[in-house]
Amino acid sequence: MKTLYVDGSGFMHRLSARVKLALLAAASLALFLIQSPSVLGVGAIATGLLYASLRIGWRQSWLRLRVLFVTIAAVALFTLVFNSPVEAVSVFFRLSALALLASAVTATTTTGDFITEVTFAATPLEKLGLVKAADIGLSIGLVLRFIPEILLRHQAIRDAHIARGLRPKALSIIVPLIILTLKNADEIASAIDARAIRAQK
């Protein structure tokens, strides 16, 4: 599966993941505390310029952000109709700035860096005994490893329907998909335990 990271060497790429996430959190808080439409407008333009500096391109950006912007536009329209134009503009600028800033962080941080941060963030939970930080990386790897296999299985089940002259229906595809996939769990768990992956510290 292709990640949303975009290779590059700008200043955002060189910032550490932790700094970027902290800045994102601070900026989000600021954006929600600011009420003035003009300041929010400046913020939206600033984040827009930041995002543009990554040179992701119009088409790729549209593919990434279209659902989000449709939602933002819908909310802004709703606010325009039910509240006031000033509030609608504020809502639009605020949500757009957030979307652009978050996308910029995602595009400039590698998956590996993110996983390191998630594992670090989970260490307090580990002290509480709720989760083992190493398990997080293992689970992420497991999910990614099995997505293609399950996709193929889904296609095979669809083909089996068509071969029998049946139209693929939700229930008759989902049930075999779930059962066949989960039946592998024991083998996979044995393979993991045999390699003592979870026993390593």
Between residue 157 and residue 176, which ones bind another protein under the rule CB under 8 A? 167-171, 173-175
Q: Based on the shown chain and the rule CB under 8 A, indicate whether residue 154 belongs to the binding site for another protein.
A: yes
Gap between the Cα atoms of 88 and 75, Å rounded: 8
Question: Among 111, 123, 159, 162, which residue interacts with another protein (rule: CB under 8 A)?
Answer: 111
CB of 173 closer than 8 Å to CB of 158 = yes
Q: Based on the shown chain and the rule CB under 8 A, indicate whether residue 36 belongs to the binding site for another protein.
A: no
Residue 109's contacts (CB-CB under 8 Å, 6 or more residues apart) are 5, 17, 20
Selected range binding another protein among 7-15, 38-46, 52-60, 113-121, rule: CB under 8 A: 113-121
The Cβ of residue 93 has, within 10 Å, a number of other Cβ atoms equal to: 25
Question: Among 8, 13, 15, 24, which residue interacts with another protein (rule: CB under 8 A)?
Answer: 24
CB of 119 closer than 8 Å to CB of 134 = yes
CB of 166 vs another protein, minimal distance in Å: 10
Q: Based on the shown chain and the rule CB under 8 A, indicate whether residue 79 belongs to the binding site for another protein.
A: yes
Selected range binding another protein among 7-15, 41-49, 52-60, 64-72, rule: CB under 8 A: 64-72
Q: Based on the shown chain and the rule CB under 8 A, indicate whether residue 67 belongs to the binding site for another protein.
A: yes
Q: Based on the shown chain and the rule CB under 8 A, indicate whether residue 98 belongs to the binding site for another protein.
A: yes
Gap between the Cα atoms of 65 and 45, Å rounded: 16
Q: Based on the shown chain and the rule CB under 8 A, indicate whether residue 186 belongs to the binding site for another protein.
A: yes
Q: Based on the shown chain and the rule CB under 8 A, indicate whether residue 47 belongs to the binding site for another protein.
A: no
The one-character DSSP state at 1 is -
Q: Based on the shown chain and the rule CB under 8 A, indicate whether residue 33 belongs to the binding site for another protein.
A: no
Residue 148's contacts (CB-CB under 8 Å, 6 or more residues apart) are none
CB of 96 vs another protein, minimal distance in Å: 10
Gap between the Cα atoms of 173 and 96, Å rounded: 39
